[in-house]
Structure 1
Amino acid sequence: MRIRLFGGLEVTSAEGQPVRFATRKSALLFAALVLAGRRGLHRERLSEGFWPGRGDAQSRNSLRQALADIRRWFPANGNAAISVEGDQETVALTAGPDEVDIWLFERKLAESATADLAFAAELYRGDVLAGEAIPDGLDEWFSPNQVRYRQKALQLVERLSLALPEAGSADEAACERLAERLLASDPTAEAAHRALMRIHAARGHENAALRQLESCRALLKKHLGVEPEAQTQSLAVSLQTRGGNRQTASTHDTANPAQPVATPARPHDQPSVAVMPFDNLGGADDEYFADGVVEEITAALSRIRDFFVIARQSAFTYKGRFVDVREVGKELGVNYVVEGTVRRGGNRLRISVQLVDSETRTQLWSERYEGATEDVFEFQDRIAAQVAGAIHPAIRGAEIELAKRKPPTSLRAYDLVMRAYPNIWGRRKDTNDQAIELLRKAIAIDPAYGRAHALLAWCHASNAAYLWAEHQENELEKARMAVEAAGSIGDDPTALAAAGSALSMCGEQERAATFIERALALDPNNAWAWARHGWIAIYKDEAARATERFHRAMTLSPMDPFAFNMRLGMATAMAKTGSLPQAVAMAREVIAAHPDIIMSYRYLAAWSAMSGDLETARWAAQKLLTAQPDFTIERYRSLPFFRHMPDWADQVVEALKLAGLPER
């Protein structure tokens, strides 16, 4: 097969080389001819559709050039397996029946054998021309075909899942892969959900089948605001009946079946989460691994003091049976539920994890991890760390949204802190000021709220470090006072990270390191603490040690609101260790993504000047002065975190002078 349209355009020459057409229009014209098949297309329609508004003569000439480009790869001769032929009116692609994936797909669909359907399933790698850039105006050529073949794929996955003769066959695996590909591009594809439900049930995994139903229901609600179709509901009823009969049979001789352990009601001063037993989709030999993953994730989350984690013993009373997340939420008194599946195939392990709001059943976050089985325990630890690192900001984001929806009259100290969170990340002075106001209100309600004091310290330190305050020393003193007012925060990694970050800005690197290291001892997956640990290394003139810390932070929380700061920290470490071109490139990337973050222009101006690119340095300096007219090199140099690296500070000062920034 030398022509593939499913999942993107791939064409191979007679010599086995990838075909690279001269222009995108040539490639799309070739795709249009493939879709048209042997009936071909009218030249006039092609020239007007692909080159509109150019006039008849020019558009026909463009068509001739594009066809010449195609024929360069597929010249017409008597033995050619693929060629473009035509007359004055039409042009068509001729090829053998097995040369084109969509033609072969159609032929296999017409067959009734399960093996033929499975073959067609493997051909469908994604939507027609998925990922190809299609210019405006050409949708009429491709959109109808994309929709048509997607509908055929949905019909195929339904048909194949109903026709599968037995569990564990190669045909079943092909059906499962097709369902997963369809859901990757459209999470609301109910036919794909139903196919996976049938496959799980055929393997004896009714719980996994019912979890697939809940995932389907949550995604439909989230994206379309509708309930599952009657066909899906009917399938669910049959699975629940079947699962109930199986459970009754298995527990018939058990006098006292396990019951969930009731958890006493707690005041909702913090969110709570339960990590449910993961469904083992492999053999019995993999059961220990599935349980081990849950134990590791539970332990990792338990180290985070931002939320309460239900003990494993309580969550594991649900093992082996399907329960609705809303029921779990009520019985265990939790806001969020972590669910997952574990599957081993050959020498590969796959773990799927999702975080669900137990009240609304909304999926807040999901991820899939794959690794080799060679070292299962190392893989287990890595997955636990990544899941904990991802769930933490997902829950925090959900709590922030919940606090935003509450009326002012019902806000507590916790809600006010949640409202402050999105504004504390050093992006703009006005949002930082809003955070300060919210944190002060929280402290007024609860004067002993250590985290509120610690975050307030960070905000005041940011006012000084970003040169937002007229009197920097006053802000630094307020930061120190807020750290002292925080009192005993020794068991709160977030508060420790905030207090340590503030002290680092104040120039107290040794004391700051004590706070940060305590935060990481409690929660090794705290991305903020790892990032600030990197900055402390830079401020202590130990840039070589900073790179690994920033990398750890970015790995744990790639979508973090503070990711720009982590990247600038990594770039600073590069600049200090002699990799100026890489540092400049990273600063440019941050500016392109976040042009409103003023501090980026300081770094770009300095590093560009150091590397001899004065044009870029002066551009960055002008941008900085436009956003911050009162910036002076003297004010910047006076910041206390320069104390431990005087030589570097002097280099920065000289570079900023070359960039054209005012000294005083």
Structure 2
Amino acid sequence: MLSNRRGMLLVALLCLQPDNSLDRDTLCRLLWPDRFPAQAKASLRQCLLDLRHQFESEGCGQVLIVTRAAVALDRRSLQSDLRALDAALEHSDGSAAAAILERIGSLPLLQAVSFNPTFDRWIAQKRQQVDMRLGQAAMQLVADLRAAGDSEASARLSAAAQARYPAARGLTDIALAVLPFPQIDLVGGNFFLAEGVTDELVSRLGKVEGIALAGRTSVLAVAPRRQTLTEMAASLRVTHLIEGEVRRTPDLITVRIALIEGATGTEIWADRIEGSIDEFFESRKVIGNNIIAAICRVLGLALSPAPMRRMTANRAAYSLYLQGRSLVRRSITDGAAAKSIELLEESLALDPDFAECWTALADAHIHNAVYTPCLDRVERSRKAAECAQRAVALDPGQGHALAIQGIHEWTRLNPAGALDLAFEAYAREPRNADVALRLGSFLLYIGRTRAALPFIEAGIEQDPAYGRNYGMLSTAHFNLGEMAPALAAGQRMIDLGMPGMWLAVINAANGERQQAAETYYAQRMLMNTVILPPAGTEPMSDAVRDAYWGIAAKGICSGDADARTAYCAMLDGLHQTMPDPCDPSIAFPAIWMGHAELVMKIYRQCIHPANMFGLMSLWADVEPIRRVRLHPDFMNFAEDLGMVEAWNRHGWPDLMPKGRPGA
């Protein structure tokens, strides 16, 4: 550690230079700006002498190369994250580059370094130059790896580079949300014209280089809140909005489309399309050829050729697809998920080659398996995988369908195969929030939290108003021991209407046990709305509900050994008596309480789409959760679940770098 502050800053300045060299005049100007040139040069000579003595006393050898005109670092003696990243990118080592980027995260180069205004301005400029250079090099390597067929390395490096270097995405300048269009219909009937326009806009804009598109789920969550346009733009973290309306009369359909500047709410472009119903159905071509091109011109973007969208030519099939897809995530309590499957299947009966509809049906089956109480969750997962497989066979660009197939591989105890599919999905659709989040979740499940975080953050950047996403983000930070961001993400999850048990668990681990128990107990009020009764069970009375949640809150959050033992015994009993012995209502609290025997029993018996989400919570190195990982049978358990194979193929967990539970 250098004791001379100016000496430390001098070395830092040299590290930022491509050739690790700076002329003496520049060093004098930056480090001694308030001294006359002769004084500054004398101070530099003394500083270099002090550095040489210190390096020699610590056995570092000749670190500095000093000439009459310049000072340089001997590259052979230089070890830093920046140097290592440069070397990894230079040698096309995507895995090493990704690992370094994941480790440094968003920390600035030479963090917490400040000296004087001249120095600070120079450092800020150099940081920008270095980040731009490294970001461009990283994304070029991503393209090279993708072209070489290395989907895992390209996906991992892409996510890490996007997290560190937003400008490298080519996305940050323009972030866009397409708001739902109202339909003013003076005719009646099931003509989902407005949904068709927004569907086409979203699909086409999502393929334009230079645009980051807000996820549909977040848009649907924000749109009904009666916010102003500027408030919606802030909620969705976008720079621009597209709004409009569809008006239908007996003779004419009129579509109005407007581009809004998010910061001011000002309309900066608008257009109108008119025609008959037949002309409207063909208007997808008009939107693609004219509207999208006009929007790109206004935004200063070049409209690059994109793969043709393989849509249906059947009007009825398209209408059913729009209806079914819009229902998938809107409700979990009124049969909407089941109805969505019915509508999508009707669409495919009319056009069995409609690839996007097969993907939507696969997604509906998974959503149904997760959120609808049922006893055939693995069967629904199998159906989803079959639909997804059909989608990819019809259109290899359906990356989301590949990720859905990965979910079913988990139920087949094949997490290595699941990750293969998820990485390939990301290589095909890196801008799809669902794809990024599925890959991030799979990595969380096997304990690769640092590798998972960039994918989760990338997904949330595009889908910032979906509470489930913050459950993953909160758990990721918790697993890494980053309590403040974990708590913030957990609170955001509650704010967006999702259950807050994860926040309670983190609060308890943070020593705020009373608050944790209160937060956990408060979630009982979500029963029968957000939290549905387990499959095959009747809704609890208020008294029984309150008693059960009180025992659970104490057992998980209080830190009282007797309360934990009592709730563990209750979960053992539920596992033996409930129609689904592997239900999340048993599996999740078993993990949070470190009830290792029950956790291993449940997941050996059955992994299904509803309980696999709990696997991400195995990897917090806190009491009592760590008891599962430290259990003597854990490695056998991991072998049985296929995790060891996944670790060998995709990297070992952060907490087990040497393959040992206690490492």
TM-score (normalizing by structure 2): 0.38
Q: Which has the larger radius of gyration?
A: 1
Relative contact order, CA 8 A, sep 6+: which one is greater? Answer: 2
TM-score relative to the length of structure 1: 0.38
